[in-house]
Amino acid sequence: MARHVIAPASALPPGERLVAEVDGRKVVIFNLDGAYFGLFGRCPHQGGDLCLGRTTGLVEAGAEPGEYSYTRRGEILRCPWHGWEFDIRTGRSRAEPARVRAKTYDVEVKSGAELFDGPYQAETIVVSIEQDYIVVQA
């Protein structure tokens, strides 16, 4: 499994997304409060572009009728084609989590100094030991 250096970590602040090409495939990478997650850019339903999906959260019922709470803001990705929703942390579908999931990629942040221990692929960006970088395993 190769590790791909995608971008400086500073290019992806919390709450934002970044689209990268990894081994010829589009991957959308999210920063959820400092934790990084990657999803394959094609929806497992009919191939919609998940990179263009809106993010949302969960509306959960409270203990009493009429009570609800909105949680996990920005952690659910909705496919722009038919609205299927996926948990960004796991790739699992909200409707059928045991059966349907978007492919996930491990994403981590490495210091420039650590990257010199390789092996990494960094064909498109210059790496310096003074910065941290987003690294995807694929």
Residues in contact with ligand FES by the rule CB under 6 A: 43, 45-48, 79, 81-84
Nearest CB to ligand FES, comparing residues 80 and 112: 80
SS3 94: coil
Which residues in 35-84 belong to E strands, given as ranges? 35-40, 54-61, 68-78
Q: Tokens at residue 24, please?
A: 């010829």
Given a contact cutoff of 8 angstroms between Cβ atoms, the answer to whether 46 and 54 are in contact is: no
Shortest separation between residue 55's beta carbon and ligand FES, angstroms: 15
DSSP string, 4-36: EEEEEGGGS-TT-EEEEEETTEEEEEEEETTEE
Residue 42 CB, nearest distance to ligand FES (Å)?
Answer: 8
- In the complex with ligand FES, which residue's Cβ is closer, 75 or 85? 85
Tell the smallest beta-carbon distance from residue 41 to ligand FES (Å). 11
State the nearest-atom distance from the C-beta of 38 to ligand FES, in Å: 18
Of the pair 49, 114, the CB lying nearest ligand FES is at 49
